[in-house]
Structure formats: C-alpha cells, structure tokens
C-alpha cells in the first residue's frame, strides 16, 4: 500500500508549504487542518516533522479517507479524520474538540487518486462511467448533468467553469447526441466533443480538457464551496496562525486572491484621517502575489506546473 501511494502521489510544493506553516505549527500543542486530505502526503510529512502536532484531515472522498487513514495510522491519535466538504471546516474543528487552530492547508482541485483511478470518470484520456463526484456516496454525477441540463445551462457551465470558447457548439452537439442515446461514458463524450471541434482548434490542445474541468466543478460545486470555505477557514485561525492555499486553475486562484486581499486590507473608511486599531487588517500576506513551483519540481512532477500558492498569517485577533 505505501509503495503504491508513493508511486501515484507526489505532494505538490511540499517543502515550501511546510516552511510557510512551520512558525505556526511547530508550537507545543499546535493543531493544523489539512482541508483537502487526499491520500495524506502533506499530512504525513507534517506529522513526521513535528512530534507534538495534531492534524485534522478533511475530505469529502471516502476512498481518500480510507487510504489516508491507513497511511497515517502510525501517527494516531495525533491524526484525526472528518468526512466533510471543506466549507464545513469550522464544524469539523469543533467536532474534534477545538475552538481554533494554528495552521490550515488547502490543496485544491482534483486529487491524484481521483485522476488515476479510471472508474471515477475524471480523466478524459480514460474511458469510464461519467461520475466525477469527489464524494462518490452522494449527489449528481456528470452523466446526470449531461442528461438533465438544458442547452443554455450547458453553455453557461462550459463558459463559466471551463472558460470554453466553443461552449455553444459543444452544448448543441451534446443535446443532439443525447437524443440518440444517453451520454454515460467519458469515451463517448470525448468523441462528441472531437467531432464538434474544428481541426485547426484540435491542434491547440485536447478539446475535452475544459469541458471536463467545467463538469467536475459543476458536479462538486467547487467554486461556491471555496467561496464559503476561505472566509470560514480564516475565522478559525489563532493569533499567529497561518493558511496556505494551492490552486491549480485561474477560477480557484481568483477566489483565493480576493478573499486574502479582503483579509489583509484595512477596513477603515477612506475619509478617516487616521486608521483606528479596530480597522487594521487581521492578516498579512506571506508571499508576494502567487508563487509558482520551481522549474525543477515542474519537470519532476507535471501536476505542479499550474499551481499557484498563496499564504497569509493572522496578525490581529478578531475581537
């Protein structure tokens, strides 16, 4: 099991992430939330490095929780696990007996487990049932969305969540194809998209990439969840606590950037001659802009190529 996990799962920006969190999570009795536990790569490294640290791992994916639970078993009881979507972070922390934490990590997007297991339906390169649910125990599948959404709804999904220029063309092709037979497998969806894509555009990249991203975001409500999760997470941090977020596409990163900007900006009205203490920012940024993985890491781990890291520290209590 361990060898297999190590083979398919290389945590992105592992050392940089731990370096940024270390001043907060190396304190005696520190608690960190791994809000996107996955297969536990970041958590395993933090638990091994900081012997007094407790990790609360959150994940909506029951398969991921089972794998991480086995991997992190040597660290129990310092390793805790909660089955939840990460906008439930405050409830999860309370359920483990804490009122606040010292560190939070979000490693967003689809996990190695979900991508590499064909039966989950996340990868357009592998024919599989069109599922795409991060929590395979509940909710609509991608096949359900393709069967039930109107053409107008599909256009909006592909444009808003995939930034797809051919959204109208693809939506029309899908609606026509589903009248002949349900679209239930990734291979058939790819065929429909390829047939609807002009040859010149096919040379610019795989035509299914943005559509699959859009369907995944729609199925899992990823952006609306993230909208709620970042402010909720910031509200749980102790003074001196730190948050690190790894985003892999521009829509996610835009939300993270916006929320961290709000948290690190004074709330004083512009007409005030001086900034009163209660208006001072509660957080400060720890990196300038969005930090990229090194060229060496991008070469070694292709999944690190699109990552954008942002981080902040609480410098003033909420009250």
Q: Is 42 marked within a binding site? A: yes
How many CA atoms lie less than 13 Å away from 116 in the CB half-sphere?
Answer: 14
- Containing 138, the helix (H) or strand (E) segment is none
Please indicate if the annotation marks 289 as binding a ligand: no
Is 299:226 a contact under the CB 8 Å cutoff? no
Helix boundaries (H) for 72-185: 89-95, 112-116, 142-148, 151-162, 167-180
Task: Consult the annotation and say whether 59 binds a ligand.
Answer: yes
Q: Is 200 exposed, middle or buried (0-12, 13-18, 19+ CB in 10 A)?
A: exposed
63 assigned binding-site residue: no
* Residue 107 annotated as lining a ligand binding site: yes
> Is 86 marked as a binding-site residue?
yes
The Cα–Cα gap between 290 and 299 comes to 19
Instruction: Tell me whether residue 170 is annotated as binding.
Output: no
Residues 6+ apart with CB under 8 A from 191: none
b/e sequence 93-131, b meaning 16+ C-beta within 10 Å: beeeebebbbbbbbbbbbbbbbbebeebbbbbebebebb
Tokens, residue 79: 């390793």
Please report, in range form, the residues annotated as the binding site for S-adenosyl-L-methionine: 40-42, 59, 86, 107, 114
Please report, in range form, the residues annotated as the binding site: 40-42, 59, 86, 107, 114
């Amino acid at each position: 099991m361990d060898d297999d996990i190590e083979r398919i799962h290389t945590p992105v920006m592992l050392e940089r992430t731990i370096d940024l969190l270390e001043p907060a999570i190396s304190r005696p009795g520190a608690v960190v939330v791994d809000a996107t536990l996955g297969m536990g790569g970041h958590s395993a490294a933090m638990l091994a490095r900081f012997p007094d640290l407790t990790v609360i791992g959150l994940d909506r994916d029951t398969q991921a929780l089972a794998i991480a639970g086995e991997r992190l078993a040597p660290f129990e009881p310092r390793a805790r696990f909660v089955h939840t979507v990460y906008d439930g972070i405050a409830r999860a922390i309370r359920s483990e007996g804490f009122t606040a934490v010292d560190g939070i990590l979000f490693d967003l997007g689809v996990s190695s487990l979900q991508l590499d297991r064909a039966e989950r339906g996340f990868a357009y390169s592998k024919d599989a049932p069109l599922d795409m649910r991060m929590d395979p125990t509940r909710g609509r599948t991608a096949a359900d969305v393709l069967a039930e959404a109107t053409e107008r709804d599909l256009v909006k999904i592909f444009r808003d969540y995939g930034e797809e220029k051919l959204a109208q063309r693809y939506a029309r092709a899908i609606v026509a194809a589903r009248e002949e037979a349900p679209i239930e497998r990734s291979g058939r969806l790819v065929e429909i998209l390829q047939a609807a894509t002009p040859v010149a555009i096919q040379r610019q990249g795989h035509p299914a990439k943005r559509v699959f991203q859009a369907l995944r975001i729609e199925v899992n409500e990823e952006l609306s969840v993230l909208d709620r999760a970042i402010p909720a997470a910031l509200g749980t941090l102790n003074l001196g606590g730190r948050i690190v977020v790894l985003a892999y596409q521009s829509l996610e990163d835009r939300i993270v950037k916006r929320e961290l900007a709000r948290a690190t900006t004074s709330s004083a009205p512009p007409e005030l001659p001086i900034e009163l203490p209660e208006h001072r920012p509660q957080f400060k940024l720890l990196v300038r802009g969005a930090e990229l993985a090194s060229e060496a890491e991008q070469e070694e781990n292709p999944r690190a190529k699109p990552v954008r890291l942002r981080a902040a520290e609480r410098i003033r209590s909420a009250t």
